[in-house]
Amino acid sequence: MNLLEVKNLNTSFHIGVGTVQAVRGISFHVEQGESLGIVGESGSGKSVSMLSVMGLLPNYADIVADSIRFDGRELTKLSGKALRAMHGSEIGMIFQDPMTSLNPLFTVESQLTEPLRIHRHMDKRQARQRALELLRQVDIPNPEARLKQYPHELSGGLRQRVMIAIAIACGPKMIIADEPTTALDVTIQAQILELLQHLKQETQTSIIMITHDLGVIASMCSRILVMYGGTICEQGNARDIFYDPRHPYTWGLLNSIPKVQDAPAGKLIPIKGTPPDMLKPPAGCPFSPRCRYCMPVCRAYMPPTTELSDVHRVACHLMHPHAPKITREV
């Protein structure tokens, strides 16, 4: 069953010099208990699309969607108050930088018990008891002492564990993790990824993992969306994306990182140029200005989505039966 189903989501920001079209007509779903990865570069719309689903964007953002269904309810029709009741109880969020997303003025205890008292109406003692359990669940040693501390007294890894404890406090059905390990060192990243995987197995929570790190995606996610220029250019199972990618942008991403068994002699194949300016995105395929296989049609029309299998979908004109047959350069 689909826990979340988004149809034709468009998000734009009205700023002084024009309108930034951050997300342009994307549709996707998240199944119960699955971990979905969203990869893309900065400005590809991956974070904005999730914030739009959550209704967490500022007023000058314009969010238009045919439908956003979460757990049988239509979110586009919910009031702000009803949406807020879902935040932190049914959907948990983990942000990139735990130093800026935790409040420096409050102790771990007060931040961790807040969702419990608001959503679960616990009293102070119950909430404290549950907070201790949560800290143990995210493997924080000496939880009694940690409750009294402020965020600045904790290391980056511990702060991110506190963030995760807050996100899972009310037993959410879905967790959105937006670059949860980007600010951390690799050995701490390994700890946090291990913890997230463990929590997912234990609680059957769905996880949406937003990241630019293909390594994190490969080890965490079973299904992947690749975003570029506010659109989904390719989606599929992890194996489809890593072993049978079809979109030239996905090829470019995979060729930009060193191979696992890379001898120092191997060359990287970068993507030429820079990501599009979303104030005036290209009329056709957003990747067309950087694509080495670009055809005239690519500049004029947005490519339709081709279904290669139930889950593997590609938005590229090269998929057309009359287009030249091109395979990935490795």
Question: Applying CB under 8 A, does 225 fall inside the site for other proteins?
Answer: no
Site track 42-81 with other proteins (rule: CB under 8 A), x = hit:
x---------------------------------------
Q: Segment near other proteins (CB under 8 A), from 122-130, 199-207, 264-272, 295-303? A: 264-272
Query: Taking the complex as a whole, how short is the minimal distance between the CB of residue 217 and other proteins, in angstroms?
Result: 8
Pick one of 55, 98, 230, 252: the residue that binds other proteins (CB under 8 A): 252
Pick one of 253, 285, 291, 314: the residue that binds other proteins (CB under 8 A): 253
* Beta-carbon-side half-sphere exposure of residue 226 (alpha carbons within 13 Å): 29
State the Cα angle at 294 between 288 and 296, rounded to 5°: 95
Pick one of 115, 157, 248, 276: the residue that binds other proteins (CB under 8 A): 157
Please, are residues 209 and 220 in contact by the beta-carbon 8 Å criterion? yes
Pick one of 84, 213, 297, 302: the residue that binds other proteins (CB under 8 A): 213
Question: Applying CB under 8 A, does 266 fall inside the site for other proteins?
Answer: yes
- Of 204 and 219, which CB lies nearer to other proteins in the complex structure? 219
Pick one of 64, 145, 268, 300: the residue that binds other proteins (CB under 8 A): 268
Question: Applying CB under 8 A, does 232 fall inside the site for other proteins?
Answer: no
- Of 99 and 218, which CB lies nearer to other proteins in the complex structure? 218
Least Cα distance to 222 among 2, 3, 35 occurs for 35
Site track 305-324 with other proteins (rule: CB under 8 A), x = hit:
--------------------
Pick one of 14, 124, 148, 239: the residue that binds other proteins (CB under 8 A): 239
Q: Segment near other proteins (CB under 8 A), from 73-81, 85-93, 110-118, 211-219? A: 211-219
Pick one of 8, 103, 155, 201: the residue that binds other proteins (CB under 8 A): 155
Least Cα distance to 196 among 172, 228, 227 occurs for 172
Alpha carbon distance 319, 317 (integer Å): 5
Q: Which residues bind other proteins (CB under 8 A)?
A: 41-42, 155, 157-158, 185-191, 193-194, 212-219, 238-239, 242, 252-258, 260, 262-264, 266-272, 274-275
